[in-house]
Homo-oligomer: A and B are copies of this chain.
Amino acid sequence: MHEQLIANIRKRVSVSPEELESIKHFFIPKKIRKRQYFLNAGDVTRHTAFVEKGLLRSFSIDDSAHEHVVQFAPEGWWITDMCSFLSGDEAVYNIEALEDSELLLLTKQAMDEMLEQHPKMERFFRLLMQNSIIALQRRIVGTLSLSAEEKYKRMMHLYPDILQRAPQQHIASFLGITPETLSRVRKQVSIGKQG
């Protein structure tokens, strides 16, 4: 059940099979069912999660009780409230499974030990973070510069599978528009395709 994780690591750093075997043991497998929460805002999380299978989302809830999706995490992605995980602060994000999912969990302690024993993994996580930053910066620019329809089309292009798998209300929240607007945009786009 570590296939995705191993592929994910190998993609970025070269590690021997023995090392991989050792690395695997720092992770705790966990299954989580659709609709279950992996993390509630206000709690402190001890874990960062790698998604072997399934789909999760992290989101915050603002003062007007509106949800805002920070991230979708399908297979091969990592998800946590980083601030809570690293610093022991109260989490500001909720994390919910959108499908029955299989996770590989890493406690802070396990992570530190792993980095101690396998310095290569420092590099791995650095590369991982770099990619996240690039994606997050692009998302910000997109949020600032695009219309609702353009945002949707961009998502069709960047994450077509998530568009299929996640409920529209969450897609809308991720894009920063209302479900109503997303519905209208979809209609618009589908008509445009036919005509």
Residues of A within 8 A of B (CB): 60, 62, 64, 66, 68, 70-71, 82-83, 86, 115, 119, 122-123, 125-126, 129-130, 132-134, 136-137, 139-141, 143-145, 173, 176
Contact = CB atoms under 8 A, between A and B. Distances in A.
A82 B132 CA distance: 11
Count of identical protomers in the assembly = 2
Contacts of A68: 141, 144-145
Q: Which 10 A-B pairs have the closest CB atoms?
A: A129-B129, A122-B122, A136-B136, A144-B176, A126-B126, A62-B145, A68-B144, A83-B134, A60-B141, A68-B141
Contacts of A133: 82, 129, 132-133, 136
14 contacts: A62-B141, A70-B141, A83-B134, A86-B130, A115-B123, A122-B126, A126-B126, A126-B129, A129-B129, A132-B133, A133-B133, A136-B136, A136-B140, A139-B140
